[in-house]
Amino acid sequence: MTNDMVKTMIEDMHALAKLYRSRAYAPYSKFLVGAVVKGANGKLYGGCNVENAAYPVGNCAEASAIAAMVGDGETHIVEALVMGPEGQICTPCGACRQRLREFASADLKIHLADPTAVLQTITLGELLPMSFGPENLNR
């Protein structure tokens, strides 16, 4: 695969995350997040955060994207992107690191983006070292 092709694919993930971020329902925090996971099937799945008047019931963008993927019959994530507000990176919260871990290996690349660009790329293993996953339950 050429560098141009890789760039195009990240740009596709970035564009989809931006669309989903624009649909975020975050009237309480006003912190809009979009997330995209790429399945092993090559398809992209987007999600946004969905807050609730009962605050703890709110949902992270990553959780929404993962739910869309699993609902489509895919259970392996090969790449991910999380987009927060302009000028800052939004790293997945602790719970979402574990949610990603369920469907990905430690070398999963997670692109951290704002609406203008990908600002940083990190692996799941860096975000969640010595993780507990399905293998620990012989799955």
Q: Are 48 and 81 in contact (CB under 8 A)?
A: no
Per rule CB under 6 A, is residue 92 in the interface with ligand DUR?
Answer: yes
Q: Cβ–Cβ contacts within 10 Å for residue 57, how many?
A: 9
How far apart CA 125 and CA 74 sit, in angstroms, is: 21
Q: How far is the CB of 41 from ligand DUR (least distance, A)?
A: 24
- Kindly tell me which of 15 and 93 has the beta carbon lying closer to Zn ion: 93
53 annotated as belonging to a binding site for a ligand: yes
> Given the structure tokens 């799941």, which residue do they identify?
124
Determine whether 62 is an active site residue: yes
- Kindly tell me which of 6 and 95 has the beta carbon lying closer to Zn ion: 95
How far apart CA 29 and CA 40 sit, in angstroms, is: 33
> Which positions make up the binding site for substrate?
49-55
Task: List residues near ligand DUR by CB under 6 A.
Answer: 26, 29, 31, 33, 49, 51, 58, 60-62, 82, 90, 92-93, 96
